[in-house]
Structure formats: structure tokens, C-alpha cells
Amino acid sequence: MSTIKRIYTRKIIRYGNYIDYVKYYENQYTHHSVIQSRTKSKEGTKRADSIQRARISIYRLIAGNIGRHSNRQGVFATYTFAESMYDISAVYSKFREYSRRYKRHYGEKLEYVAVAELHKSGAYHMHAVLFNVDRLDFDEHDKIWKYGRVNIKKLKTKYGADGLAKYLSKYLSKEVFDTLINKPLYLCSRGLIRPEVSFGDKSIDNSLSSDKVKLLTIHKGYNALYKKFKKNDRNKSRICRTKSRRI
């Protein structure tokens, strides 16, 4: 059973150049449980809500880590298998093995967020954002991957980080979700910058005044008011996206 820590009506999440603000209509309670994988329960799992939460987590991880290496813009990579892979555990295992080989080959850890895509045939391949990679040597990446082919694209600089985050998170479909019982919904390397989350009452609204921000979106949910801000930081480079879709 989760241990209640405190009551709150406001939540502020800071990641990268963005701030999410949530104003709840009723009291909320912080607790220790963190959902990173799908498990069966007696109450059942609300699929759409779980997918949305995972997409938001992927979105924040990507938007919060893009551009962390000033000398590397990062890449978007697709990993395919020469032989069709139908076992998601094996797919995840091979991707982790690839990341270890990458470290041995280049002498540095691969920083990534990766999501599996499910074909109509039932086979998987992987998509990933690689934060500390700028190399477009396809043959070299194929040798390190060794299970098939790697397609790599440099991240474009003119659209903003949120586009790429939305693009990758959309691969977490309901079809993939249904195959991931007791499995992570996505993979990410250790050491990524995690969102900073603050809880409180209306008094923490003043903390936003210390940030120079621009309101991007506002949305009213059944239990809360959601606002999204972007910091007005002219010195921060505008990083990447391929194609954007709403999540």
C-alpha cells in the first residue's frame, strides 16, 4: 500500500525549456508508487490513460534532454531486424546489448529513449532518439547493431524539441501496449535528466513569475486545469523534429 506523503492542489513540472502547470479542482495526494510498466490488476487497467501517461513521460524525457550536449545535435534512429522478431523481451534484450557494444566501440555510454513499433505481421522494430550521437556512418552503426539495418537521421533545428518528442511517443500504440504486460513501455538509458516536479497549493503559483515564460497551450480536464509554458531563453538553441503529431 502506498504511503501518503502530503496533500496538494498544484503541480509544476520543469523539463528542458518547458514548464507544465496543473491546477487540480480537488485535493491530490503524493505517494511513492511510480508506474513504468503495465501490470494486470483486479481493478483492470485503463488502456487509454496508461498509454497517455507513458507518452507524456517519453515526451518530457526527450524534450528535457535534447540539446544537453552543445556540440552534438543528436539523431533519430530506426533499428530493423534481418529476421522477424516476435518476442518483445528478446527485442529489448538485443537493444540493450547494442547499447553496451556501442559503449565498448566508442568509449562512451549511449544516451537514448527507445520505443518498439509493432508491424501488422506481429514483428517488432525499434525507434530511438540518441542524444549524444552525431555520426551518420551507416555501415559503422550496422556493424554495431549487427541484427539488421540502422537508419539514422540528423535532427532538424528549426521546429523545436516538442515535435520530435511527440513523433517518437506516437509509436507507443494500443497494439504495442497490449503486448507489454509486465514489460517496460519504453527503454531509456540511465543518467538522463529527469523532470523536476514540485507539489503545493496556490502559493507555488508565484514561482512561475520568476521564469520568463510564454503560454503555449491551455486545456481543461475533468479534474484539473492544464497549462504549458515555454521559457523565453533566446540563448537556447531550438532543436529538432522530423514530423509532429498531437499526443
User: pLDDT for 197-216, tens place per residue?
Assistant: 999 898 888 777 666 788 88
Contact 124, 88 (CB under 8 A): yes
pLDDT band at 75 (very low <50, low <70, confident <90, very high): confident
Strand, helix or coil at 105?
helix
Cell numbers of 205, please? 503559483
- Please provide residue 226's backbone torsions phi and psi, each rounded to the nearest 5 degrees: -115, 130
Query: What's the full length of the chain, in residues?
Result: 247
- Please provide residue 78's backbone torsions phi and psi, each rounded to the nearest 5 degrees: -120, 130
Is 80 exceeded by the pLDDT of residue 110? yes
Q: Which residue has the cell 503524493?
A: 30
Cα–Cα distances (Å) from 144 to 34, 61, 109, 124, 159, in that order, read 33, 25, 13, 19, 31
- pLDDT recorded at residue 240: 33
Is 50 exceeded by the pLDDT of residue 242? no
pLDDT band at 73 (very low <50, low <70, confident <90, very high): confident
- pLDDT recorded at residue 159: 52
Contact 19, 225 (CB under 8 A): no
CA distance 149 to 141: 8
CB atoms within 10 A of CB 214: 9
